[in-house]
Structure 1
Amino acid sequence: MALPDIEPVSRESTAEIIARQLRDAIMYGSLPPGTQLGETELASRFQVSRGPLREAMQRLVSEGLLRAERHRGLFVIDLGPADVYDIYSARSAIERAAVIRIMRGGDRENVAATLDETVRAMAVAADDDDPTALSDADLKFHEALIAASGSPRLVRMARTLLIETRMCLAELQRTYQAVEERVGEHNQIIEAIRAGDEDLVLSLLEAHMEDAVRRLAPGTSLTAGAAP
């Protein structure tokens, strides 16, 4: 078969590297919600021209992590109650679909074992009083759950949502009086997967999402409909 001229696959572009670093900075709070991104300062810090920087920032605009304000520039998104509702309702739909695929066709024991590792990491982080590692392990649980569905589309759909979720986790962490409560919620989901109880897994997952929304946005509920 004749092929058109194909260029060799290049390494990660400058814009991709900048976008990844900005994404991480937003996810971990180095660039907090509402922060304005100044081109001059960032170009100096990255030691790049404004071309790849602008390309990187536009990628984050398209991902929904930055917002553009006319005549003012680009800002890290703020996550108000309506945003929290939107993030968790979308996550709930994606993770529900992932669970159904796992329960009806996946290797449940292998999935449970993978999830066990993330919960053990949560427990270790809690013992070490490392909130960053705890939230990272929490996020890895949900990434692993979605990946176990075997659906590349669900994984793609979840990618930005999980970055936004990571932005929420530092605040969510402050609402737990005991870390064991957070770890316990995840362990219950794992045991229901092992038991093959699809209805229970879905019920626990829904309760897990609902609890997070109520902690992050008091007065808001997934089950009551759209956020005020």
Structure 2
Amino acid sequence: MTVERHTLLSAAYEHLRAAVLDGSLAPGSRVTVRPLTEQLGLSPTPIKAALAALEREGFLIAVPHRGYFVPEVSPNDLLELYELREAVDGIAARRAASATDHAQLAVRLARLLAKQRKAIDAGKLQSYGELDLAFHRLIWEGSGSRRLMPVAENLIAQVRLGNRLSAQAPGRLPVAIEEHQAILEAIRQGDPHAAEGHIRCHVREAGEALRRYLQMRDGEPQPRPS
């Protein structure tokens, strides 16, 4: 792939990914090539490649003979996701705190946490969502597990949607920041038991915040994960 083709692919990919995550492309929307060529001023080739990449990552779904669609995720799907996240993040944090370079990892996490605080103070919810995912991804990477990373990466699209919704729950962000601080301190101290406990609590509370937000938004009680 030439540098130019790679640049065009990246431009199409980043535009479409951002549109899915910020809701510009709503769940259930059909995504077709021709309008995007006009909108982005690109040829069909990089757009088709970007759509295929996003489908592989779970940001889009491919329907035979119909094209690509933004996935619709039900409340039950989202709540189930948090159960999976709790397990995956718990393993990752435990391993990260046990790693020989846990202190260096803590330094990098602290930088992200400082940026998260600034994003909240500025009311930049989308920026906070990006930084929140970066915080968790850094812990996934810090686990040193080759098998854990692909599992975690496969959850990214759903994680992003869930984060965007749970962050809208009143009072959730300041609490989430302090939970991140506790996770950071446990990793800094090299305490795998505390790191796992704090991150499991953090993900569980995020799931509860999501449940409460959906209940408030829809005016109906949402089921708790069994």
Over the matched positions of the two proteins, sequence identity in percent amounts to: 27
**Distance in structure 2 (CA, Å) of the matches to 1:66 and 1:178:** 28
Deviation at residue 186 of structure 1 after TM alignment? 0.8
Preserved CA contact (<8 Å) 2:186 2:194 = yes
**Distance in structure 2 (CA, Å) of the matches to 1:44 and 1:114:** 41
With structure 1 as the length reference, what TM-score do the two structures score? 0.79
State yes or no: 1:79 paired with 2:73: yes
Greater mean deviation of Cα atoms: 196-205 or 9-18 = 9-18
Equivalent residue for 2:184?
190
Aligned residues: CA RMSD: 2.5
**Distance in structure 2 (CA, Å) of the matches to 1:200 and 1:86:** 24
For the residue of structure 1 that corresponds to 2:51, the secondary structure is: helix
Deviation at residue 120 of structure 1 after TM alignment? 1.3
Greater mean deviation of Cα atoms: 158-167 or 187-196 = 158-167
For the residue of structure 1 that corresponds to 2:42, the secondary structure is: coil
Deviation at residue 16 of structure 1 after TM alignment? 4.8
State yes or no: 1:215 paired with 2:209: yes
Deviation at residue 214 of structure 1 after TM alignment? 2.3
Amino acid at match of 2:17: R
Preserved CA contact (<8 Å) 2:172 2:209 = no
Equivalent residue for 2:105?
111
* Structure 1: unaligned runs, 5 residues or longer: 1-8
Whose helix proportion is higher, 1 or 2? 2
Equivalent residue for 1:10?
2
Call closer, same or farther: CA 1:20–1:133 in 2, change over 3 Å. closer
Give matches, 1:26-175, under 5 Å: 26-69=20-63, 72-175=66-169
**Distance in structure 1 (CA, Å) of the matches to 2:142 and 2:70:** 31
Deviation at residue 51 of structure 1 after TM alignment? 4.0
Call closer, same or farther: CA 1:98–1:71 in 2, change over 3 Å. same
Call closer, same or farther: CA 1:10–1:90 in 2, change over 3 Å. farther
Amino acid at match of 1:79: V
**Distance in structure 2 (CA, Å) of the matches to 1:143 and 1:96:** 13
* Structure 2: unaligned runs, 5 residues or longer: 212-221
Equivalent residue for 2:216?
none
Number of corresponding residues = 214
With structure 2 as the length reference, what TM-score do the two structures score? 0.80
Equivalent residue for 1:199?
193
- Greater gyration radius: 1
Amino acid at match of 2:223: G
